Structure 1
Amino acid sequence: MKNQIPAPTLAYRIFTNLTFWVFIAIVCGAALGHLDPKTGMKMEIIGKYFVDLIKIFIGPIIFLTIVLGISGIGDLKKVGRIGLKALIYFEVVITFALGIGVAAALIIKPGHIDKSGLAIGDASEFAKKGEDFSWLQFFLNNITLQVLITAIIIGILLNYSSRRQQAVDVLYVVSKYVFRALKFVMYLAPLGAFGGMAFTVGKFGLETLLPLGKLMLTMYVTMAIFLFIVLGAIMRYYKMSLWKFLGYIKAELLIVLGTSSSEAALPNLMEKLEKMGCSKSVVGLVVPTGYSFNLDGTSIYLSMAVIFLAQLYNVQLSWGEIITIIGLLMLTSKGAAGVTGSGFIVLASTLTAIHKIPIEGLAFLLGVDKFMSEARAITNFIGNGVATIVISKNEGEFIHPETDGMEIM
């Protein structure tokens, strides 16, 4: 008999698992930030460098995936059909997210808290940005959206080119090397998670959470309800398991948790969705588009934050004004991706538009926004994954692979 290679031991599988090391890094980062805040704050540069390094891949991967997806479909009517289905799905789900955020804030009333000892920051910078907010500036500053539109145009043009196949072959080779390079970069994920968590706890401190703990708890519970009831029901309708899907992308979720950025794991999500069974064309269209237009977690946060500020200032909002706020956020929330400080810009522009809640109230959110960004990023991330699965199933382009660990039925 031939000598058989022994199966890896449990300890070996654990210590060679990237998820394990990301989790350890998050715990160590939180401990360092709490025990030695000054040193923890210095670790910010590690987390920033990791996210910046990942951002280098965002543009090329979105461009390559969309161009290959559209040019690979061949049928431009199908491209339009997938895009329309995705946009309709995004708006329906985001409406649920905004409604749930408003309902939770009205029922739990997180703004009715003791304001003594609250560390108030300066929100004037964000207020000014909110007044000057424009869709033109948003487009000019949002590289992701620019790449997205450019890739769609090039993908469509390639379908009319006599050399389409040659171009597609070249792009496939480039794509393979880009993903290979990304795979090596992801080995640095524990460092990124460590730096991000150490800085967060070191700068704001655990005690900062106490005055606004009710708001944070409300938001986390609301997002959990949205994930497991709304998205869970959607997955069940398509005979899929949300729990198994979360288990499949657990490494990416930990990266998002540690870095507070869905960008850090976006390329990996696209690759895993393809391996799981979603067609390349659907992944290439839905995920990048959802990154700009399907921000479930951000929508919940924005709607809850507006109601929270109204409660802080004891501003009574009529149902008509609440519906107006939801309508405004459905539009302005689209500007909350890819721009630093965009969450505050969107809040500022919304508060300025309704002329009833003092825009200075943004200062109340500055101290703990970092702690809420993890929940927003994770919810956005999961929401885009579910959207891609839904569109793939709806298009009849979801193939169940035989590979271990990828079946989420």
Structure 2
Amino acid sequence: MKWLQKLYVQVIIGVIIGSLIGYFEPQLAVQFKPLGDVFIRAIKVIVTPIIFLTIVVGIATIGDMRKIANIGVKALIYFEIASTIALLIGLMVGNLWPVGRGINADPATLDAGAVSGYVSNAEHMTLLDFFINIIPKTFVEPFVSGDILPVLFVAVLFGLGLCKLGDRAKPFISTLEVATHGLFGMVGIIMRFAPIGAAGAMAFTIGKYGTGSLLSLGELVLSVYIVSVLFVVIVLGLFLRIAGFNLFKVLSHFKDEILVVFAATSAETMIPRSMEKLEAMGVKKEVVGLVMPTGFSFNMDGTAIYMTMAVLFIAHATNTELTVAHQLTILFIMLFTSKGAAGVTGGGFIALAATMPAIGVLPIAGLTLLIGVDRFMAEIRAATNLTSNIIATLVVGRWVGAVDCEKARAVLDGEIVPEAPKTTKIDVLQPAE
């Protein structure tokens, strides 16, 4: 049965098995948590070196700083447009569909201690700290901490440095490219265990939080899922259509990666594999290397939708009136806090905890209402974030003319099966005069 050999089929089976174990044997299911954690940790070991090497090799092969700046600026423009639309849609739906109204929760009776850890982390999450932390204290620090933006900073500088060396850098860059393919090989080995990791993650989620909490706040979970899916289909689908691609073909091509992050609730785990598939589709290495990593700090559309809808849910549930001015303030603050929480464990909660005090009317203790179902919403957040950044890479790549459209469409149509990039000798362009 060849269909059983497909990764997405194996992941779906793993998710179903994990869900059944979580439902019927919750105490046993909680013990399966290490399976998901080990898989995520194994992938994250490879994320930072792959990002570093991909960016360095990509920039070194461009050899033109103006082209690099062009990619970076257009990527940031796209990120801000997409993130702002996501926030606006979340606010609009939260007002038209007042999820939480009728719960009548009394903030005084809520256990604020349950979210004290997130609140304390939020106190140290400022926009200034976010920008300062982009620059690491040492060269090796970002590789130890796993923070993506400092890795991006070091890689860009190193790549630009190699540009200035011209022909002298060719042998070294060829060595770096060989190392990159070796790391991609490691990803392929680890991905064989994705179904087991997905089963463990789902078993833990269902066993730990149960279907009771899901049913009690099911309307909130349902609303976040519906809005996230519609955002991908309508908004991101429109962006892709303008770029000349079909959304459903793109989703089908990346279904393995989307399913894995949905189960594991960690979008970062599929950055290396998604980058490899984008390159194999015909997107140039420098675009993939710059847009994908940056997007996981500046283009968290799934998190943006969740944050706005969660804030309005807390307002409705606690009978707190939010004026238009309050909501515009929320929108403005979240443009920054959604970025500042990138890559932080419990980032969605931390971003909310950083946003709510700035508004001055919402009770921080209202976050406790979300604890029981946050893990379920983390699944769609992760899947939406990964999907949005895959699409961002295609759109920005098309915008800067760095996509082999004929090859990309052939891959998406199934006319050719892309192979993993092969190690070949590369030519380094001379820096622009």
Structure-2-length-normalised TM-score: 0.88
Match of 1:131 in 2: 123
Alignment pair present for 1:144 and 2:152: no
Equivalent in 250, 268, 272 of residue 273 of structure 2: 268
Match of 1:8 in 2: none
Alignment pair present for 1:26 and 2:15: yes
Q: How does 1:60-79 map to 2 (within 5 A)?
A: 60-79=49-68
Match of 2:45 in 1: 56
Q: Secondary structure at 1:317's aligned position in 2?
A: coil
Superposition deviation, residue 164 in structure 1: 2.0
Q: Structure 2: how far apart are the matches of 1:59 and 1:283?
A: 14
For the structure 1 residues 200 and 119, does the alpha-carbon distance in structure 2 shift closer, same or farther, using more than 3 Å as the test? Answer: farther
Alignment pair present for 1:302 and 2:307: yes
For the structure 1 residues 299 and 76, does the alpha-carbon distance in structure 2 shift closer, same or farther, using more than 3 Å as the test? Answer: same
CA contact (8 A) 1:192 1:259 kept: yes
Match of 1:392 in 2: 397
Q: Structure 1: how far apart are the matches of 2:102 and 2:253?
A: 39
Superposition deviation, residue 52 in structure 1: 0.4
Amino acid at match of 1:145: L
CA contact (8 A) 2:60 2:160 kept: yes
Superposition deviation, residue 18 in structure 1: 1.7
Superposition deviation, residue 239 in structure 1: 2.1
For the structure 1 residues 70 and 402, does the alpha-carbon distance in structure 2 shift closer, same or farther, using more than 3 Å as the test? Answer: closer
Identify unmatched segments of 5+ residues in structure 1. Answer: 1-10
Superposition deviation, residue 130 in structure 1: 2.1
Alignment pair present for 1:86 and 2:75: yes
Match of 2:235 in 1: 230
Superposition deviation, residue 402 in structure 1: 7.8
CA contact (8 A) 1:127 1:345 kept: yes
Q: Structure 2: how far apart are the matches of 1:149 and 1:81?
A: 16
CA contact (8 A) 1:119 1:367 kept: no
Superposition deviation, residue 403 in structure 1: 9.2
CA contact (8 A) 1:40 1:202 kept: yes
Q: How does 1:204-219 map to 2 (within 5 A)?
A: 204-219=209-224
Q: Structure 2: how far apart are the matches of 1:407 and 1:175?
A: 28
Q: How does 1:135-174 map to 2 (within 5 A)?
A: 135=127, 138=130, 139=133, 143-162=147-166, 163-174=168-179
Q: Structure 2: how far apart are the matches of 1:39 and 1:372?
A: 23
Amino acid at match of 2:152: L
Q: Secondary structure at 1:183's aligned position in 2?
A: helix
Q: Structure 2: how far apart are the matches of 1:52 and 1:335?
A: 22
Match of 2:364 in 1: 359
Match of 1:7 in 2: none
Superposition deviation, residue 224 in structure 1: 1.3
Q: Structure 2: how far apart are the matches of 1:124 and 1:107?
A: 31
CA contact (8 A) 2:110 2:365 kept: no
Match of 1:401 in 2: 407
For the structure 1 residues 113 and 96, does the alpha-carbon distance in structure 2 shift closer, same or farther, using more than 3 Å as the test? Answer: same
Q: Percent identity?
A: 41
Amino acid at match of 2:96: I
Q: Secondary structure at 1:357's aligned position in 2?
A: coil
Q: Secondary structure at 1:161's aligned position in 2?
A: helix
Q: Structure 2: how far apart are the matches of 1:287 and 1:395?
A: 15
CA contact (8 A) 1:94 1:294 kept: yes
Listed one character per residue, the Cα deviations across residues 347-383 of structure 1 (whole Å, up to 9, x for unaligned) are: 1110111111011111111111000001101111110
CA contact (8 A) 1:113 1:211 kept: no
Spell out structure 1 runs of 4+ moving beyond 4 A.
Answer: 118-121, 135-138, 402-405
Superposition deviation, residue 76 in structure 1: 0.4
CA contact (8 A) 1:115 1:211 kept: no
Q: Structure 2: how far apart are the matches of 1:79 and 1:266?
A: 21
User: How many residue pairs are counted as aligned between the two chains?
Assistant: 397
For the structure 1 residues 373 and 402, does the alpha-carbon distance in structure 2 shift closer, same or farther, using more than 3 Å as the test? Answer: closer
Superposition deviation, residue 16 in structure 1: 1.7
Superposition deviation, residue 251 in structure 1: 0.8
Superposition deviation, residue 136 in structure 1: 6.3
Identify unmatched segments of 5+ residues in structure 2. Answer: 137-144, 416-433
Superposition deviation, residue 54 in structure 1: 0.4
Superposition deviation, residue 142 in structure 1: 6.2
Superposition deviation, residue 113 in structure 1: 4.0
Match of 2:28 in 1: 39
